Amino acid sequence: MTDPRHPRPAAELFPEALQLSTRQREVLDLLQTFPGGARSSDLAEELGMHVNTVRGHLDELIARGAVRTTTAPAQGRGRPSLIFQVRVPDNRAIAREYVSLVEVLAEMVVGDETPSPEALDKAREIGRAWARRMADSGAEVDNVPDALELLTARLRELGFDPALLAVNDSDSVDIHLQACPFVTEQGRPSLFVCAMHEGFLQESVGSAPVKLNLRPFYPAGTCTVTSEPEAS
């Protein structure tokens, strides 16, 4: 339970966590296009709904903590209008901000130069610590197929779009990462960040006897995680 002295975790405001209906999500998505907020009548006109229907959806969104209200400046006589404002974050903006933060931290460690072997070892150590922090205590397995299946599921949750592929004439499998949260319009991640991911991958399989290696940007359009049995 969150300490009431602290701000609410932003993850609780993600639309996915709010379990919204299709109509509620439609109203919320439209409201997000109004940076300063909108009146219920504005939303009703855009959506082609009756204003009372929109107000009902807005009331539900307020109850779920996704929307807040404020009062519009008074204009003449009569009750001032309510302005509805979104509270949920923009997931894409969050991703961009934290990708930028990680890259800045990496640059602070290694600068603009190619990372040294010592720097890459440090990056893998950071990745292993990251995996331990994220570990699900009930998900520990010690056999390779289950460990790789759990890892693939975790990578999918993190946005790497993984595909588990058998290697010809071998008992090994590769994981092809067809997306990366750290690839942006500005370019691809640094090798330091890739080494962090390699450490994360290895730590994530726990005690399963398998060695994982990350081949960044190979083949074209993907990164490849290769696996090989670990010497006993």
And the tokens for 106?
């990496």
In angstroms, rounded to a whole number, what is the distance separating the alpha carbons of residues 4 and 13? 16
Contacts with 131 (C-beta within 8 Å, 6 or more apart), sequence order = 199, 200, 201, 202, 203, 204
Average pLDDT over residues 6-32: 83
What pLDDT, on the 0 to 100 scale, is given for residue 96?
85
Angle 224-121-161 (CA atoms, 0-180°, nearest 5)?
25
Express each pLDDT in 132-141 by its tens digit. 998 865 556 7
Express each pLDDT in 157-209 by its tens digit. 999 999 988 766 666 789 999 999 998 887 888 899 999 999 999 999 988 99
In angstroms, rounded to a whole number, what is the distance separating the alpha carbons of residues 203 and 217? 21
Beta bridge partners of 67: 86
| Low-confidence winner among 2-6, 113-117, 132-136 (lowest mean pLDDT) | 2-6
Tell me which of 81 and 225 has the higher pLDDT: 225
Q: 156 — phi, psi (to 5°)?
A: -65, -40
Domains of the chain, start order? 10-89 (1.10.10.10), 95-229 (3.30.1380.20)
Mean pLDDT, the chain, rounded, equals: 87
Please determine, for residue 27, whether its predicted confidence score (pLDDT) is greater than 60: yes
User: Which secondary-structure segment (H or E) carries 213?
Assistant: strand 210-215
What pLDDT, on the 0 to 100 scale, is given for residue 198?
96
Tell me which of 11 and 67 has the higher pLDDT: 67
In angstroms, rounded to a whole number, what is the distance separating the alpha carbons of residues 14 and 230? 40
Please determine, for residue 45, whether its predicted confidence score (pLDDT) is greater than 80: yes
The amino acid that residue 154 corresponds to is R
